[in-house]
Amino acid sequence: MRKLLVSCALLLPLTACKDNLSKQAANERGAIVEAQAGASAAVSEAAQALAAASAPRQRGIADERLALSVMPENYLKATEVKSDDGAARRQSLQLISITVSNTSHFSVADLRGEVTWTDAKGVDIGSSPFSLSGSLLPSETKTFSTSAGTLASPGTVQGVAVRSSVTFRRVVILS
């Protein structure tokens, strides 16, 4: 009997220790599950914040005004760019007429830019500055020319061009 009591006395602490280990493991599992849930919630919140920050925002009229002053070529579209026909025979290019459309919500004036002439191989031959007199209302399209006195383009470029591109560098916003 004594052996039985000694055996029981030894088993009780082992059982108690095993119970403590089981409880500790359960507590650790619970803490891990809780930490995973917290991390998952944090990741979800971060993803939502990133999506909100990445979503396109409504651009206001002040944004357009700023964009027009910084990058007028995004709102001013040039078409019908013409060079001096007589100069073409001398292989000299000079801007004499240009049609410009204003796609912004603002009236503009004192437009300045640069025309770049490109040959048949796609190589830039050269460029020259120009300035336009007069104003351009929102959504208006107007032709400016040297003969009307609304286009000044003092520079000439030597070569034969098949294409031209126009870049607006400066604009005065009227309204």
pLDDT single digits (tens) 99-150 = 999 999 999 999 999 999 999 999 999 999 999 999 999 999 999 999 999 9
Distance between CA atoms of residues 94 and 33, nearest Å: 75
Q: What is the pLDDT of residue 144?
A: 97
Please list the ranges in the chain whose pLDDT falls under 50. Answer: 87-88
For residue 19, give both structure tokens: 């119970």
For residue 158, give both structure tokens: 């030597």
Based on the number of CB atoms within 10 Å of its own CB, is 55 exposed (0-12), middle (13-18) or buried (19 or more)?
exposed
Distance between CA atoms of residues 32 and 26, nearest Å: 10
